[in-house]
Amino acid sequence: MKVKVVTNILKANTRIAEENRRTLHERGITTINLMSSPGAGKTTLLARTIRDRGARIRFGVIEGDIQGTHDAEVIAALDVPVIQINTAGGCHLDANMVQSVLPELPLESIGLLVIENVGNLVCPAEFDLGEDAKVMLLSITEGDDKPLKYPRMFRECEVLLVNKVDLAPHLDVSLEKIRADARGLNPALQVFEVSARTGQGLEAWYRWLEKKCAGSRGRG
C-alpha cells in the first residue's frame, strides 16, 4: 500500500510540474532547480551569480527552506524578486508548492527563475518542479564519497558545481575521484570546479547559464 501511495504522489507531482513548465515557457522563462546538502554554498553562489550577471540576466528566485527567511533576505537585498517557501519540516520542495507561489512573482519581468531547493541530497532529486534543468552544488568539504552514496542526485542533474575548491589544499579530498565517480553515474554531466567565495571557475558556469537562457527572455 505504501508503494502505491508514493507512486500516486509522484504522478500527481509530475502533472503539476508539467503545468508549471507550460506556464513558465509561455512567459519565456528558463527555470533552474538548484540543489545541494545544507551548507554547500547555494545561496552564496546564487548571490554572486546575480551580482556578476544581473545586468545580462533578469533573475527571479524561489527560496526553499524548512524554516526562516535568511536566504530570501540575502537575495532581496540584491534587488531581485524573491519569494520564500517554508516547508515546516518537509525535506524538499514539490511542484504544488512552486505552483502556489508563481502568482506572487512578477513573471513578466523575469527571464531566469532559480528555485533554491531545501538542503538535502536525497528527496529533491525525485520531484520535478517544472524546471528546465537540475543543477547540483557539492562542497568539497563534504568529502569525495558523495556521488556513490547519493547516485540519484548525480544522475538527475545536468550540471555539477564542485564548490569551495579554494580549500582543496587543506583537505584530504580528491577532485579527480569526484569527477570520475559523478561522470561514471552520468556521462553527460557537466562539471565545473568553482569557488563562490573567490570567484574561481565561475566564468564557465556563467557561460553555461547564459547559453541555457538563449532563446528565452532570460537574456536582457
The answer to whether position 59 is within a domain reads yes
3-state secondary structure of 66: coil
User: Count of CB atoms within 10 A of residue 36's CB?
Assistant: 26
Q: Are 167 and 39 in contact (CB under 8 A)?
A: no
The answer to whether position 149 is within a domain reads yes
For 49, the domain range is 2-213
The answer to whether position 218 is within a domain reads no
User: What's the CA gap between 169 and 181, in Å, rounded?
Assistant: 21
Look up the pTM and report it.
0.93
- Residues 166-184 have pLDDT tens digits of 999 999 999 999 999 999 9
User: Count of CB atoms within 10 A of residue 76's CB?
Assistant: 16
DSSP 148-208: HHSHHHHHH-SEEEEE-GGGGGGS---HHHHHHHHHHH-TT-EEEE--TTT-TTHHHHHHH
Residue-level length of the chain: 220
Rounded to 5°, angle at Cα 68 from 32 and 135: 15
User: What's the CA gap between 215 and 211, in Å, rounded?
Assistant: 9
The torsion angles phi and psi of 68, rounded to 5 degrees, stand at 95, 170
The answer to whether position 220 is within a domain reads no
- Residues 30-68 have pLDDT tens digits of 999 999 999 999 999 999 999 999 999 999 999 999 999
User: Count of CB atoms within 10 A of residue 39's CB?
Assistant: 11
The answer to whether position 106 is within a domain reads yes
Q: Output the nine-digit C-alpha cell for 213.
A: 537562457
- Structural domains counted in the chain: 1
Give the chain's residues under pLDDT 70: 1-9, 215-220
Q: Are 171 and 189 in contact (CB under 8 A)?
A: no
pLDDT value at residue 89? 86
In 30-150, alpha helices (H) = 42-53, 70-76, 95-101, 146-149
- CATH number for the domain spanning 135: value is 3.40.50.300
Identify how many contiguous H helices and E strands the chain contains and give both numbers. Answer: 8, 7
The answer to whether position 189 is within a domain reads yes
The answer to whether position 219 is within a domain reads no
